[in-house]
Amino acid sequence: MKVMQKRILGNNGLEVSALGLGCMGMSWSYGPPKDKQEMIQLIRAAVERGVTFFDTAEVYGPFLNEALLGESLAPFRGQVVIATKFGWAPASESEENARWSALNSRPEHIKRAVEGSLKRLQVEVIDLYYQHRVDPQVPIEEVAGAVKALIQEGKVKHFGLSEAGVQTICRAHAVQPVTALQSEYSLWYREPEKEIIPTLEELGIGLVPFSPLGKGFLTGKIDENTKLEATDFRSTVPRFNTENRKANQSLVALLHKFAEQKNATPGQVALAWLLAQKPWIVPIPGTTKLHRLEENIKAVDCQLTLGDLREIEEAASKITIQGARYPEDMEKKSGL
């Protein structure tokens, strides 16, 4: 098993590999679920290459993704960190196959949700338990209190939030220290730099960027001619319509330029840029392909100098990204 550079999330010493693996796309959102045996092999290949941080959620599938991780990582108990999330529920509690469009972070629901996650993940304690989205119906203090109780019971080690705003983060942190915030952050979505990142720095909370490759766009493998299937949720995202994909190629061109200088790929430069922002940032690129996993992992060795970072900053500041990152109804639920 290879050793990757490690990073610490939060003030309570949660140590993880500098790059994690987002597992959502293996079961959900980017077309039909992938072949289970292939995904088990891929997850185990990530462990062999030094990845110790794996991201899932109850809603991915629903349930399929947690069960996939539980089976895949069973041989590596104690060697890996698994993060999962609560906070969604079927529109009708009794319909497990119903559309999971309802937010539910009521303490009694969290109590039920954690039992299901523990069982599917085949663990006795969840390393990092995120609230998946802020629930406007439940005060964040009650949510933090419910997770605090789970930590005291030994069912959860660390509390996390996802896509929460500054006030929510501060209020939650006052009840139960937040170890990590998961939010979208990359060269094509930099909103967290305004208020979120300074707040995390001040409070000692780690940042786990999801979609660090812009849902695949920053790899340079997607252009205006790429066909997106109806089952691929990117087909509903304004930023991925044909016109915007064409307009946003200027950012990919910038990454290509640095990739050539560094003998790297555009995706590796995008990840290296994120890693260079703060020592407590741990991106979780997702993939279903071994060659992409290996490419992403090599980003940890791609060193950008201060001069490189200044040059990227200067060039990126002249580029305006076209298109919203989510359809309007989803953006409203993002919690920011």
Phi and psi angles of residue 302, each rounded to the nearest 5 degrees, phi first: -85, 110
Q: Are 19 and 212 in contact (CB under 8 A)?
A: no
**60 noted as active-site residue:** yes
For residue 7, what are its two tokens? 């990073």
Per DSSP bridges, beta strands 81-86 and 53-55 are parallel
| 330 φψ region: left (φ > 0), alpha (ψ -120 to 50), beta (else) | alpha
Among candidate residues 30, 60, 129, 130, the one labeled active-site is 60
Helix residue ranges per DSSP H, 122-220: 140-152, 166-175, 196-203
Handedness of CA 155, 157, 159, 160 (dihedral sign): negative
| Dist CA 221 CA 254 (whole Å) | 14
| Dist CA 140 CA 134 (whole Å) | 8
Across the strands, what pairs with 21?
A: 54
Which residues does 3 contact at the CB level (< 8 Å), separation at least 6?
50
Catalogue the active-site residues: 60
